[in-house]
Amino acid sequence: MSDLDLLDKAMAEVAQGKRVPYLGAEVSALSGSAAPATPAALSAILESKVRAPRRAAGNMWAVAQYIESRKFRGTLNKLVREAFAVPPGGVNPVHDWLARIRPPMVVDSWYDDGLLRAFGPGRDDWGYVQGVSRAGGWTEDFTRAFTAGGGERDAADPSWPSLIYKPHGLATAEGSFLMSDADYVEVLTEIDIQTPIPEEVQNRRTGRPFLFLGCRFDDQLLRIYARQITKRSGRGHIAVLPGPLTKMEEKFLEEMEMIRIDLPLEAVTERLTVAEG
């Protein structure tokens, strides 16, 4: 089976609710907005506002920790939210496709709200769960759940036809997000026993493999989250991941027994265009 045939099959399985899409920052970048679309880009914005030590330069998580430690959490929240408080940009074909097919679950690992807007706040057939920082007195929980209209729930509703899971949170005025090393300390302590993973996320991943789109696995934190979110799911994960790969990415794909499609993300948007034509 060719890479394109495998991609078509995986996308069809997403549409049938048999495979869970897992979106990285590169999917958000398809909108073409001025919001940062990679950890490095967000790090550069933060470093332009607060001079970070050389050892932290280019590392979003380390820069966020430095700002939080030296300038307090409120400063970090303000700078990150400002970075994402930009016009929404143009059409995002992946977001629009997922909003149209309404799969049982989508994991969206970047901080923007583009997918939420695509699904539409006026609908009542979906909800979302976001990871939250415990800094600033938000909550003692690891996550918070909301209806499409923004109403908070105790947990994700099993009756929602679609669930969007934002494990790292939302960088909106009303949202909370995990970014500094301090944010992740307790999460990483308990993630292996799945405590930070919402129960409904665990339920909906059962028996379903994942399709990774726009993701890189070149940072340990990203690998940990991908590994733990997919734990006890179906076999046969697929990643659309163009080369070259780092040694750690190669090792991770092997460990996860993940099939790699060596194509750029644009191949996905092209297949969507063909399907719509």
Domain range spanning residue 80?
36-85
In this structure, the answer to whether residues 54 and 136 fall within a common structural domain is: no
Q: Please provide residue 249's backbone torsions phi and psi, each rounded to the nearest 5 degrees.
A: -65, -45
Q: Which tokens is 20 given?
A: 């869970």
Indicate if 211 and 155 belong to the same structural domain. Answer: yes
Average pLDDT over residues 119-129: 91
Q: What is the model's pTM?
A: 0.95
Strand boundaries in 94-140, DSSP class E: 105-108, 126-131
Q: What is the mean pLDDT of the chain?
A: 93
Domain boundary among 50, 85, 120: 85
Average of pLDDT values for 235-246?
96
Which helix (H) or strand (E) covers residue 20, if one does? strand 20-23
What is the CB neighbour count within 10 angstroms for residue 41?
15
Is the pLDDT at 137 greater than 70? The verdict is no
CB-count burial class (<10 Å; 0-12, 13-18, 19+) for 16: exposed
* Residue indicated by tokens 């920082």: 133
Give the pLDDT mean for 13-25: 98
Mean pLDDT of 170-192: 91
Residue 194's pLDDT is 94
State the pLDDT confidence band at 180, using cuts at 50, 70 and 90. very high
Please tell me whether residues 182 and 196 are part of one structural domain.
yes
Three-state SS for 175?
A: coil
Number of domain units in the chain: 2
Q: What is the pLDDT of residue 1?
A: 79
CA-to-CA distance for 218 and 57, rounded, in angstroms?
16
